Structures are given as structure tokens and as C-alpha cells.
Amino acid sequence: MAEVVVRNKQVILKDYINGYPKESDMVVTSDATICLELPENDGGLVLTKNLYLSCDPYMRSRMSRATEASYLDSFTPGSPILGYGVSRVLDSSHPNFKKGDLIWGLINWEEYSLIKDTSSLIKIQHTDVPLSYYTGILGMPGMTAYVGFYEICSPKKGDTVFVSAASGAVGQLVGQFAKLFGCYVVGSAGSQEKVDLLKNKFGFDEAFNYKEEQDLNAALKRYFPNGIDIYFENVGGKMLHEVLRNMRLNGRIAVCGMISQYNLDQSEGTRNLFLLVTRSIRMEGFVVFQHYHKYSKFLEMIMPLIHEGKITYIEDTVEGLENAPVALIGLFTGTNVGKQVVAITHE
């Protein structure tokens, strides 16, 4: 029987970049081909048809040369971009996966993938929700919100909670987790549309557009007259400087990301750090993939909330692999509303 070989559309990183990523830093090509049958006598491989891709801010750092601050290897220029996604298994010689399985994990930005390193792949057990949820609320961003809020922030009922980049994939969930826990929650975002979303859709107590605030310190004092117990940090820079001034004694800061710094040639220093000492503030960074062993526990918590309608989740979906570069760079200008997803194909 003849081998089935097809063209494989891919998104390739041209070269390492500096500053804000541009669509022209990537190229969409159909030059590559792939055999839709696994090679014989080669165990441990998984062949997938890729369905959904996740656009995430951390990917920006992988588009530049690795530095001492890097926690992941850089992408390889001339090769496909790698990110979280949802796929269907077409064939497998790996004992943990079989034809027809649905999986999520790290996959190349391409229509089909031959996966040799299966360590990040997780089999999807719950198919009574949209499969795209596994790029977000049931995937890496959901786990990030869960670990960051419940474990790093050590919340108590009645705590005052501030979430920056609150309408994004992680922030929208952190705010809702905090509300369900009995906290007072305020979020910041970059447009009036997103502010309205936070208050009217996600149930935040208050929200503000940081771009319209001339004085961030004054804005924080307006919403937190008695100070902030918990800050879920997604942006860094000036926001962090001012939040530190408004933290309460024994406050907790979960450092999830610093999107304001990713495109700078020289990152901004952080001021007001001595307040960590004088106010006994705990500020802790974390990387979510060190916590994936808790995924089943997370599912036990989140699935009932989804089924009972206690969690609202919003996606911003772009159709077609050819539009993936535009979707990715939009994260850094705030064009997305909710979790940015690329739908390669619908099943």
C-alpha cells in the first residue's frame, strides 16, 4: 500500500527578533510534506492532526535569543513555532496514546505533527465541553490561574484582590476564583470594552482602564482605600511599582508574568522593593509546568464550576493557521478580548 504524503502548512519563525514582534517575523508556508503513516520499528511516536493553537504571552521570550532570565529554550529560526494546542491522534506507537485520542500539550504550529517528545501531552478525558477550552480554561492558562491564586496567594475570605491584565486568559479566571472564594476583586485592562467585560461578564467588583489613569497610585487608592491583600501580577513595570505602595501588611503577590517588559531591549527596574521588608509582603514567582502533577485535582475543582455555570469563559478565536501570526502579535497590542485561540480546523 502506497504511503500517504500530504503538504503540511506551517508557521515558521524567520529569525530571532528584538522589540515588538511583527507579522513579517513569521512566514506561513506549505513547502513541507509529512507522511500520515508512522515509520515501522520506531516506538514512542505520536502522529497528530492539530485542531486548535493557543497564543500566549510567554511565547514572545522564545522568539529571542535565550538570556539568563530565560526558563525555556528559544525557538529555532527556520523551524515551526511551538506552543500549546489541541490535537487528534492519527497514529501512535506510544503505549499511552492510541488512534482517535484527543490530546493537549506542546505542538508545532502546523497542520500535522510527528511528536517524538510526548512528555507534555495530556489525554483529554472530558469532551462535553468545547475542545478549544484545553488551550485555556482547561489547559495551561487555567492551571496557571489555579496554582497562582489558590497556592501562591494563600487567599482568605474577605481579602482584597487586584488582578492586572484581568481580561486575558489567566486574569479572567483568577478574578472569578477570587469572587467565588469570597474576596473583593478589582481588575485592570486596556480598553473600556474590557473594563465592561470584567464588571458585567466576569463579576469583578470594580475595574479600570489603566491607559486612562494619569496616576496609577491614585487609581489604586480609589479602589483599595485600605490597601491590597493579594496582587496577581501579569504586567510588571509601572503598575508593579505602584501596587507595592498599596500593599497591606502580610500581603501576597503571585508573579505570573510581566507582559509590559517582554518587548523592551532593557527591562525596567522595579522600585519600592523595600516595602517587601517593611510590610512583610511575600512576592513569589512560579512556572506552571512545575505544577502539572496537580492537573487531576484542578479538573475536579473546575469541571463542576463550568457545568454549573459558575465560571464564565470568553475566547477570541481566529480562523485558519495562516492567521496565527496576526493573532499572536495582537496579544502585545491588546487587540484580543479573552483567550486568544487559533482554530486550524473544526471537528
pLDDT classification of 271: cutoffs 50, 70, 90: confident
**pLDDT tens digits, one per residue of 218-227:** 999 999 999 9
Whether 68 has a pLDDT exceeding 70, the answer reads no
Does residue 264 surpass a pLDDT of 90?
no
Determine the CATH number of domain 5-136+314-343.
3.90.180.10
pLDDT value at residue 301 = 97
Which residue, among 328, 337, 344, 335, has the nearest Cα to 57 in the 3D structure?
328
What's the CATH class of domain 140-289? alpha beta
pLDDT band at 257 (very low <50, low <70, confident <90, very high): confident
More confident residue, 82 or 39: 82
Provide the pLDDT for residue 258. Answer: 79
- pLDDT given at position 236: 84
Q: What is the pLDDT of residues 281-327, one digit of tens each?
A: 999 999 998 999 999 999 999 999 999 999 999 999 999 999 999 99
> What pLDDT is recorded for position 55?
97
Q: What is the pLDDT of residues 128-185, one digit of tens each?
A: 999 999 999 999 999 999 999 999 999 999 999 999 999 999 999 999 999 999 999 9
Which of 312, 315, 335 shows the shortest CA–CA distance to 325?
A: 335
- pLDDT at residue 262, as a whole number: 62
Specify the pTM. Answer: 0.92
Phi, psi (degrees; rounded to nearest 5) at 161:
-125, 130
How much is the pLDDT for 23?
Answer: 95
Q: Which residues lie below 8 Å from residue 24, measured CB to CB, with a gap of 6+?
A: 14
Q: How far is CA 297 from CA 285, 292, 294, 303, 337, in A?
A: 21, 10, 5, 10, 28
What average pLDDT does range 62-76 have in this prediction? 84
Query: pLDDT tens across 5-31, in order?
Result: 999 999 999 999 988 999 999 999 999
The predicted model gives 100-119 an average pLDDT of: 97
Residue 1 has pLDDT above 60, yes or no: no
The predicted model gives 53-68 an average pLDDT of 89
Q: What pLDDT sits at residue 337?
A: 87
Sketch the domain layout of the chain as residue ranges. Answer: 5-136+314-343, 140-289
pLDDT, averaged across the chain: 94
State mean pLDDT over 41-54.
92
- C-alpha span between 112 and 41 (Å, rounded): 21
